[in-house]
């Protein structure tokens, strides 16, 4: 099975800062990598799909990049409403298996 | 508007059973892949099971043989039958839509809490 790691596990940044989260797969997953935001007590929300595509309605300060085993998620200018935990997720289809990274908790400094 | 509403969670004793429901609106369940994803208290997300549009079903190793995913096309509703429940099954259970072949969970329900405890 493919394992996903994320770093850092948590971070604290100021409003307006650029925030970067990395996600690494244990083997090549092409661009089958998605990013979700989860606020406390709420369901996850899709932000980025297929590594770099912004979901409709998601602010453009969110972006993603990468392919193969190394991926990056960026918030270009951190806003107070971005306080949340962010998860990467990969997809295998033979057999189907969805694996989430352990998450990165983002706080305001 | 796409909406997913889970129900059926609650407190159950170890070894007991529970059936979760996920009522969908704004789209057709049988035309999509539908998954259950769970989150133990204070922990990360764990995929549990998927049912394909064609009816094929798949499970995480942690629930294989104990959980059964199904759907009722006439009610546009997804189900998760959970048997032989264990303390480690305690979690919020979410249903999520996965447009066929994408591997992307684009819509999620609000979740329903299952607590397995004596």
Identity of the residue in A45, A46, A100 whose CB atom sits nearest the CB atom of B104 = A46
Q: Are B103 and A98 inside 8 Å of each other by CB?
A: yes
- Minimal C-alpha gap between B110 and chain A (Å): 6
pLDDT at A94 over 90: no
Positive/negative CA dihedral, A50, A54, A55, A58: positive
Helices (H) and strands (E) in chain B, counts: 0, 11
- Minimal C-alpha gap between A71 and chain B (Å): 16
* B51-67 pLDDT, tens digit each: 999 999 999 999 999 99
| Chain B interface test: which of A30, A35, A98, A102 (most B C-beta within 10 Å) | A98
* A37-73 pLDDT, tens digit each: 999 999 999 999 999 999 999 999 999 999 999 999 9
CB of B27 closer than 8 Å to CB of B41? no
Check if A68 contacts B (Cβ < 8 Å): no
- Chain B residues in contact with A46 by the CB 8 A cut-off are 104-106
pLDDT band at B110 (very low <50, low <70, confident <90, very high): very high
> Partners of B57 in the beta sheet?
B51
Q: Are A32 and B103 inside 8 Å of each other by CB?
A: yes
pLDDT for res B118: 96
- Minimal C-alpha gap between B88 and chain A (Å): 17
- Chain B residues in contact with A95 by the CB 8 A cut-off are 58
- Looking at every residue in chain B, the average pLDDT score rounds to 97
- Chain B residues in contact with A45 by the CB 8 A cut-off are 108
Q: What phi and psi, each to the nearest 5 degrees, are found at residue B88?
A: -75, -5
- Minimal C-alpha gap between A103 and chain B (Å): 7
Where do we find the tokens 């935001």?
A37
- Two structure tokens written together for B13: 């004793």
> What is the rounded distance in angstroms from the CA atom of residue A59 to the CA atom of residue A81?
11
> What is the rounded distance in angstroms from the CA atom of residue A103 to the CA atom of residue B20?
26
* B69-78 pLDDT, tens digit each: 999 999 999 9
Helix (H) or strand (E) holding A47: strand A45-49
- Chain A residues in contact with B64 by the CB 8 A cut-off are none
């Amino acid at each position: 099975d493919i394992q996903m790691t994320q770093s850092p596990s948590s971070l604290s940044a100021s409003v307006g800062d650029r925030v970067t989260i990395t996600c690494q797969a244990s083997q090549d997953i092409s661009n089958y990598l998605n990013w979700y935001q989860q606020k406390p007590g709420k369901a996850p929300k899709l932000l980025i799909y297929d590594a770099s595509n912004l979901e409709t309605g998601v602010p453009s300060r969110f972006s993603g990049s990468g392919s193969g085993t190394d991926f990056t998620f960026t918030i270009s200018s951190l806003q107070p409403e971005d306080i949340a935990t962010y998860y990467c997720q990969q997809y295998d289809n033979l057999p189907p298996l969805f694996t989430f990274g352990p998450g990165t908790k983002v706080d305001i400094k | 508007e796409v909406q997913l509403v889970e129900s059926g969670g609650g407190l159950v004793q170890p070894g007991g059973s529970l059936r979760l429901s996920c009522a969908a609106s704004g789209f057709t369940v049988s035309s999509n892949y539908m998954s259950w994803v769970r989150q133990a208290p204070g922990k990360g997300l764990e995929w549990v099971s998927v049912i394909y549009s064609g009816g094929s079903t798949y499970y995480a190793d942690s629930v294989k043989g104990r959980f059964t995913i199904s759907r009722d096309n006439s009610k546009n509703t997804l189900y998760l039958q959970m048997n032989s429940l264990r303390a480690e099954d305690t979690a919020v259970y979410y249903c999520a839509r996965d447009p066929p072949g994408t591997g992307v969970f684009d819509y999620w329900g609000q979740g329903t809490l299952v607590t397995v405890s004596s």
